[in-house]
Chain A
Amino acid sequence: MAQPTDRFYTKEHEWVKIDGARALIGITEHAQNALGDIVYVELPKIGASLEQGKPIGVVESVKAVSDIFAPISGTVTEVNSSVVDDPAKVNGDPFGDGWLVKIDVADAGQSKQLLDAAAYDVVVQAESH
C-alpha cells in the first residue's frame, strides 16, 4: 500500500512527522500488521532524551516483543497515554490516533538519514515477498 507522504520512515518501521521544532512519532501500518494484535505499549517518560536509532520503548503483540527506535533525536514532550490504556488503537490507526510520542526536535537535519514514502514502500514490498 502507498505510505502517507507527509512524514519520514525508518527501515525498522517507525514514522516521524516533523512540524517545525516539534515532531510526532509512531509505527507504521506494515509494522502493526506484522505484529498482529497489540496488547502492550511501553513509552518513554516526558522529558526523556531520545537519540536517533536508539530504543525508546516497546510494542508487544500477543506473541512478540518489538523495540521502538527513535527516528530522530529530541526531548519527549508528550506521550500518547490513550494507546497505553488501549494498545489496540495502534492496530486501528497507526498513522493517526495510534501515534506514540511527541518530541522537541534536536536536529531536523537528521531526517536526511530517513526514508521518504516511496523509499519506505520499497522496503515494505521487499519484506512482503
Chain B
Amino acid sequence: MTNATEERTALYGTHVRLGAKMSPFGGFLMPIQYSGIIDEHRAVRTAVGMFDLSHMGQFVLTGEGVPEWLDTLTVNEVATMRPGQARYNVFTNDSGGALDDTIIYRLPSHWLVVVNASNSAKMWAWLNGGAGKPNGISIDDRTARSALIALQGPRSIELLQPLTSVDLKSIKYYHAVDGVVDGVKAEIARTGYTGEDGFELFIAASDAERLWDKLTAEGPRVGLRPAGLGARDVLRLEAGMPLYGHELDETITPLQAGLDWAVKLDKPGFVGKQALVDQRSRGGYDRIAGLIMDGRAPARAGYQVFVGDIAAGEIRSGSPAPALGGKNIATALVSSDAAAPGTEIEVEIRGQRHPAHVVTLPFYKRSR
C-alpha cells in the first residue's frame, strides 16, 4: 500500500506514534483514522477534533494586483475582500468546470491560497503558466515548509484561548489574524471544512510536532481527539460541502455543484464566465443532489441511480451519517428533474434497487 513516492508531512512520525491508520491521499501518506471514524466524528460535533492538513497546498501571493488577477481566475469575489478575511472560491477552466476549490485568505502582508493536495501541482502550473500572471506578482509554494493543524468543534475556542494572547472571540467566522500560539508564530484562521466552529493554524513545519503535542496535552479538559481524513470526509458530507474529485471536478461546474452563492456572474470577465452564464440561462443541467437512503444499505461513489426505469445519474459520495442517527446519506450527480427535494429515487447496489429520496443540502447544520 505504501509507496516510496508519497510525501510525508512534518507530523507523519506523530501519527505513526499515535497508531493512526495511514493511507496515500493526494500524494501524501496521511492518517485516515486513529480511534475510529465514528468516535472522531463525535468529538468534532460535540468537543474538538484535531486534524493534520499539512498536505494541502499553501501558495503565498505578493505584489501589486494580486486580488484583481485572482478575480480573473475564480468565480467568487476576491478584490472586495477586506484585510483579515477568508473566502471560499473555485478556480474554473474555459468551460466553467472546476480546476480546484480553494480558500483564499487576505492576511496583513500577503494573500494565501490554500489548494487541495491532489491539485497542488496542477494549480502551481496554472498560476505560474497558463493563467497570464502579471509580472509584478510573485508566488511562493510554502507547502513543504509549512504545517496546517485544524481544531474543529464547539470547544475549540476553549482549548486554544489559554495558549494565545489573541482574543479568539474577536475573530469572526471566515477571518484570520497573525498571532502566536504557545510561543509558535501562527496565522490563526477561524475556518474549517467540517460544519463546526473551529480554527486552522498555519505554522512552520518545524513547529508542528511541538504544537500538536502541546494541544494534545491540553486536550483532555475539552475532549480533544486526533481525527483523520476518514472522519473529515463524513463531516464535510454531512455539512453539504463539496469534495474535489467527487462533487466537483473539471467536468462539473460550481453551478452544477450547487455553489451558486459563490458564483458571481456580475463580476467582470473571468475564465469560464461565459460558459457559466450560458449554463445558468439555459438551465436544465445535471446537478448535485443530496439523497437519504430509506433502507440500511449504504450508497457509495459510482453506484447508478434511477427514477422509475430511467437512469438519472450516479452517486458521487456516500456514507452513514452519525449526525443523522446513522442514516445513509449520499450525493448524486443527477438530471435536473431528478434533483428536486422529495423526488423518490432508487440506487442500484450490487444489482438490486434500493429506495432513497432527494433532500435539500446540507444534511446537517450546527445550531449557533
Contacts and interface: CB of A to CB of B under 8 A. Distances in A.
Contacts of B38: 37, 62
Interface string A34-68: 00110110100000000000000010111101000
Contacts, number: 33
Please classify how large the interface on chain A is, using the bins under 10, 10 to 19, 20 to 34, 35 or more.
10 to 19
B366 interface: no
Contacts of A60: 298
Contact of A36 (B37, B233, B297): B37
Interface residues of B, number: 17
A62 B319 contact: yes
B300 interface: yes
B230 A40 contact: no
B282 interface: no
A36 B298 contact: no
A63 B37 contact: yes
Contacts of A62: 37-38, 230, 234, 319-320
Interface in A1-56: 36-37, 39-40, 42
A62 B237 CA distance: 12
Contacts of A61: 37
**Chain B contact surface mostly:** mixed
A61 B298 CA distance: 10
A58 B350 CA distance: 10
Contact of A39 (B32, B298, B350): B298
Given A62-B320, A63-B233, A40 B298 contact: yes
A85 to B, nearest CB: 9
A101 to B, nearest CB: 17
Contacts of A39: 298, 320, 326
A91 to B, nearest CB: 9
Given A63-B37, A63-B319, A42 B230 contact: no
A58 B352 CA distance: 14
Contacts of A42: 297, 350
Interface string B4-38: 00000000000000000100000000001100111
A63 B317 CA distance: 10
Nearest to B229: A63
A36 B36 CA distance: 6
B230 A36 contact: yes
Query: Which of A37, A42, A65 has the largest number of chain B CB atoms within 10 A?
Result: A37
B221 interface: no
Contacts of B37: 36-37, 61-63
Contact of B33 (A36, A40, A58, A65): A36
B234 A65 contact: no
Interface string B333-353: 000000000000000001000
Query: Which of A37, A39, A63 has the largest number of chain B CB atoms within 10 A?
Result: A63
Contacts of B33: 36
B368 interface: no
Contacts of B169: none
A40 B234 CA distance: 16
Nearest to A39: B320
A39 B38 CA distance: 10
A37 B233 contact: no
Interface string B213-249: 0000000000000000010011000000000000000
B181 to A, nearest CB: 31
A72 B234 CA distance: 36
Contacts of A63: 32, 37, 230, 233, 319
Interface in B300-325: 300, 319-320
Interface of A: 36-37, 39-40, 42, 58, 60-63, 65
Given A37-B36, A39-B326, A40-B296, 6 more contacts: A37-B37, A40-B320, A42-B350, A58-B350, A63-B37, A63-B319
5 contacts: A40-B297, A42-B350, A61-B37, A62-B38, A62-B319
Pick the 7 closest A-B CB pairs, nearest first.
Answer: A62-B37, A39-B320, A37-B38, A37-B36, A63-B230, A40-B298, A37-B37
